[in-house]
């Protein structure tokens, strides 16, 4: 499993870009999830500009739901398109913490296989200029995951559970593992959680490939 940091400068500006472009600094997106119905939910930290964000979201045709979480956090559900679809089509999962400012976006993505990285980057380059900031090889994954968790991840990959749209669903995963649907999803969630925790604790000990962090024409050729 790999963790990649990807910098994108989009050709077109989405609803997050439109609202954040009004300010001088980027905003954090601490949580986001792509759903099977073709929508994406995300939480954005508005940093004191909640009303402006909510007004922009409510006026956007692609947004289906807006919920105020607290003074700064706003939960949004909208049509999934662009980068989120490309990432999921290539078996990637948004780690949940990234930032956005106008057309510029920073994504942290988990990938089960390194070979999925190239087509993911190619797909993103159809949307704008792309720079790969880093790749972290999670070399300790085999020791982090239990046998059942490793089996769940492997089976999910084999049946196309991480594809977009999915070739196999939770029921197929349960059948493959010979367990109940709830147990299969529990193993998968625990595996994901353990890898993320290990990455955060030991990232300085991993093998990290760093490239330039600016969105330069050389690194972002399409």
Matching residue, tokens 């991993």: 206
What is the pLDDT, as a whole number, of residue 140? Answer: 53
Q: What are the counts of helices (DSSP H) followed by strands (DSSP E) for the chain? A: 8, 11
What is the pLDDT, as a whole number, of residue 123? Answer: 95
Span 170-183, pLDDT tens digits: 888 889 888 888 88
Matching residue, tokens 């490239």: 211
Span 64-119, pLDDT tens digits: 999 999 999 999 999 988 898 899 889 888 876 688 999 999 998 988 888 999 99
Matching residue, tokens 């093998």: 207
| Residue 214, pLDDT above cutoff 80 | no
How far is residue 155's CA from residue 173's CA, in Å, rounded to a whole number?
7
| Residue 208, pLDDT above cutoff 60 | no
State percent of the chain over pLDDT 90: 38
What is the pLDDT, as a whole number, of residue 206? Answer: 42
User: Three-class SS of residue 155?
Assistant: helix
| Residue 155, pLDDT above cutoff 80 | yes
pLDDT mean over 156-161: 82
Task: Give the strand order in the sheet containing 31-34.
Answer: 31-34, 39-45, 73-79, 63-68
| Residue 23, pLDDT above cutoff 50 | yes
What is the pLDDT, as a whole number, of residue 139? Answer: 54
């Amino acid at each position: 499993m790999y963790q990649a940091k990807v910098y994108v400068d989009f050709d077109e500006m989405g609803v997050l870009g439109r609202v954040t472009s009004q300010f001088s600094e980027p905003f954090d997106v601490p949580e986001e999830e792509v759903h099977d119905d073709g929508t994406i939910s995300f939480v954005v930290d508005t940093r004191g500009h909640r009303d402006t964000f909510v007004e922009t979201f409510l006026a956007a045709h692609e947004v289906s739901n807006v919920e105020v979480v607290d003074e700064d956090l706003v939960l949004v559900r909208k049509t999934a398109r662009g980068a989120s679809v490309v990432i999921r089509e290539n078996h990637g999962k948004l780690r949940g913490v990234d930032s956005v400012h106008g057309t510029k976006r920073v994504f942290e993505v988990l990938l089960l296989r390194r070979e999925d990285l190239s087509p993911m980057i190619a797909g993103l380059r159809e949307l704008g200029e792309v720079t790969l900031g880093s790749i972290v090889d999670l070399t300790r994954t085999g020791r982090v995951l239990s046998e059942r968790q490793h089996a769940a991840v492997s089976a999910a990959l084999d049946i196309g559970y991480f594809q977009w749209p999915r070739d196999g669903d939770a029921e197929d995963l349960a059948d493959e593992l010979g367990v109940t649907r709830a147990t299969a999803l529990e193993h998968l969630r625990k595996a994901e959680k353990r890898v993320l925790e290990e990455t955060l604790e030991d990232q300085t000990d991993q093998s990290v490939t760093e490239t330039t962090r600016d969105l330069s024409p050389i690194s972002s050729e399409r």
